[in-house]
Amino acid sequence: MRACSVGTFCNSAVAEKMTLRFEASCPQGICPGWSVIVKGERGFSGKNFEINFLTDSEDKTAFHLKPCFAEDTIICNSFLSGGWGHEERTDPSPLEANEPFQIEIHSDSEHFLVFINDSMSIQYRHRMKHFSGITKLRILNDINISSVEISKREINE
């Protein structure tokens, strides 16, 4: 049984002229052990999009994933204690321009693991240790989403 409430696709503007594309809330926490699969393709403007794992109060971003097509990189970071941490970059990006993609993100007790088109691409060490506080998934900006799947999975230690 899934204990999440899933938002709908919309075009309402949010802070800093970002466009909300999808939002889901899981009050029991979505880490570790939950899997998120996003299928879609880059939007028509060619700008970036981002996938964020947030706390209820939205003052912390446990995991921020932002493909930057112009730089051919993927940026990962966390916003904790009032500021952004050190960026981690994956060069070159495995995402192809104008091609559909699948991004799967799940976490174990130590990392967020990101698979792009079924290949392991990123291993990002948790910077926020209170997993139960990570309760929201938000996808913003220039992405055409065909599906988002959120499900519980087994944790292999």
Q: Which domains, ranges and CATH numbers included, belong to the chain?
A: 5-152 (2.60.120.200)
Q: Which helix (H) or strand (E) holds 19?
A: strand 18-25
Summarize pLDDT for 114-146 with one digit per residue, the tens: 999 999 999 999 999 888 899 999 999 888 889
| pTM check: above 0.75 | yes
pLDDT band for position 10 (cuts 50, 70, 90): very low
Contact between 143 and 21 (Cβ < 8 Å):
yes
Check pLDDT > 80 for residue 52.
yes
Locate all alpha helices (DSSP H) within 56-115, ordered by sequence: none
Contact between 32 and 155 (Cβ < 8 Å):
yes
> How much is the mean pLDDT over the chain?
83
pLDDT band for position 18 (cuts 50, 70, 90): low
